[in-house]
Amino acid sequence: MTLPDAGSDFGSSDLNSSVAISESPFHFDNDTAFLQWKEKKLSDYPQSIEQLIVPVNDPKALTTLECLQLKTLLLKTNMAIYDINGDAEEDKSIPELIGRQMGIRQLDKNECADDDAFTSIQVVDEGLHTIYIPYSEKGINWHTDGYYNRLSEQIYSMILHCVRPAAEGGENQLWDHEIAFMMLRDENPDYIKAMMAPDAMTIPKNVLNGKLVRPDRSGPVFMITREGRLHMRYTARARNVIWKDDKLTQKAQQALRDILNSRCEYLFHGKLNAGQGLLCNNVLHTRTAFKDDKDNPRLLYRGRYYDRII
Ligand SMILES: [Fe+2]
């Protein structure tokens, strides 16, 4: 496989893998490894979101068993939901400490993050936040977090901790990106080849008040990390991405879109309750539109990390 050119904007890239990429089950040309991986992946794969939930007693001091249960789920599905026993507190140290106990600590500080690099996801009616959908009541289509980041600062894991759910709506769909990869590869391995090209998609530059916040960024959709794991960068929001102008890439991105719009058994759907949090290796997710209760507004804390959980 030809490795994508990391480019000056990207710095050191996980694409320069120390594992033999051609031996990876995620390589488009390795049928044997892929089929073995697929069989193992689908064996006992959870069928409902309830199977992803791990009750935890004290989030600041997880027991060995709680950690093991969370990590086992993450290994299988790239996601797990902790469910804290007791009242939900407005305390950002809870998700931060859960992250530390799960081995992640390199937080990405985006422009809307609070000083501690966690972001309060809530409806904001003024300032910089108003131009970004997460701080409104609108729904958000399929994406992985930080798809617009440079490749040297990829978001490999994420925590979404719920303090107060929306009065109405604000649900999430969750899709293990490895399953999306699997379904796309089953359709045509060449689609994977196209989606791994270093110029498969370009995220247009972001200019605010005449100031360049972020330049155009090109990169692949699927990447194999140096640990041999699969990473995905994606947005279904058409205005946020320019797909490579060739037939195969266009067909591949349409096939992926169709897969994500299908209702398959591997898709999880639910709403985080107060005191619950999603821990994930940046899986594909959506958010439905919601109605806020002004006296009890929706509040979630989000942490994005440069490390994978497991
Ligand atoms: Fe997101």
pLDDT on residue 202: 97
Q: Which residues surround ligand 1, an ion (CB under 5 A)?
A: 145
Question: Which pTM value belongs to this model?
Answer: 0.91
**Is 50 exceeded by the pLDDT of residue 146?**
yes
Residue 283: pLDDT band with limits 50, 70, 90? very high
Structure-model confidence comparison of residues 195 and 9, the more confident one:
195
**Is 90 exceeded by the pLDDT of residue 51?**
yes
Per DSSP bridges, beta strands 79-84 and 276-280 are antiparallel
pLDDT on residue 19: 53
Q: Mind listing the pLDDT tens digit for each residue in 52-98?
A: 999 999 999 999 999 999 999 999 999 999 999 988 889 999 999 99
The Cα-based distances of 52 to 67, 83, 157, 194 in angstroms read 13, 10, 16, 32
pLDDT on residue 133: 85
DSSP string for 219-278: E-SEEE-TTS-EEE--B--GGG-EE-SSHHHHHHHHHHHHHHHS--TT-EEE-PPTTEEE
**Is 80 exceeded by the pLDDT of residue 164?**
yes
| 153 Cα–ligand 1 center, Å | 16
| 254 Cα–ligand 1 center, Å | 21
The mean pLDDT of 239-264, rounded to a whole number, is 95
172-175: strand order across its sheet: 140-143, 284-287, 172-175, 268-270
Q: Report how far residue 119's alpha carbon sits from residue 9's, in angstroms, rounded to the nearest whole number.
A: 25
| 260 Cα–ligand 1 center, Å | 15
pLDDT on residue 43: 98
| 285 Cα–ligand 1 center, Å | 6
Task: Give me the count of residues in the chain.
Answer: 310
Query: Which burial class, exposed, middle or buried, applies to 103 when counting CB atoms under 10 A from its CB (0-12, 13-18, 19+)?
Result: middle
| 36 Cα–ligand 1 center, Å | 31
pLDDT on residue 114: 76
Q: Please, what is the end-to-end C-alpha distance for the chain in angstroms?
A: 26
Q: How far is CA 177 from the centre of its chain?
A: 8
Fold of 44-172+270-310: Double-stranded beta-helix (3.60.130)
pLDDT on residue 238: 85
Q: Report how far residue 300's alpha carbon sits from residue 285's, in angstroms, rounded to the nearest whole number.
A: 15
Phi, psi torsion values for 240, nearest 5 degrees? -95, 0
Q: Mind listing the pLDDT tens digit for each residue in 4-22?
A: 333 333 333 344 444 578 8
For the chain, the structural domain boundaries read 1-29+177-265, 44-172+270-310
| 272 Cα–ligand 1 center, Å | 14
Q: Report how far residue 188's alpha carbon sits from residue 307's, in angstroms, rounded to the nearest whole number.
A: 30
Beta bridge partners of 174: 268, 285
> What is the torsional sign of CA 29, 198, 7, 175?
negative
**Is 80 exceeded by the pLDDT of residue 291?**
yes
pLDDT on residue 64: 98
Q: Mean pLDDT for the chain?
A: 91
Q: Report how far residue 18's alpha carbon sits from residue 151's, in angstroms, rounded to the nearest whole number.
A: 17
Residues 6+ apart with CB under 8 A from 57: 63, 66, 85
The mean pLDDT of 204-215, rounded to a whole number, is 92
The mean pLDDT of 181-198, rounded to a whole number, is 98
Range of weakest confidence among 39-43, 133-137, 197-201: 133-137
Token readout for 134 is 């997460």
Q: Report how far residue 130's alpha carbon sits from residue 18's, in angstroms, rounded to the nearest whole number.
A: 42
**Is 80 exceeded by the pLDDT of residue 136?**
yes
The mean pLDDT of 188-208, rounded to a whole number, is 96
Q: Report how far residue 263's alpha carbon sits from residue 181's, in angstroms, rounded to the nearest whole number.
A: 16
**Percent of the chain residues past pLDDT 70, beyond the cut:** 94
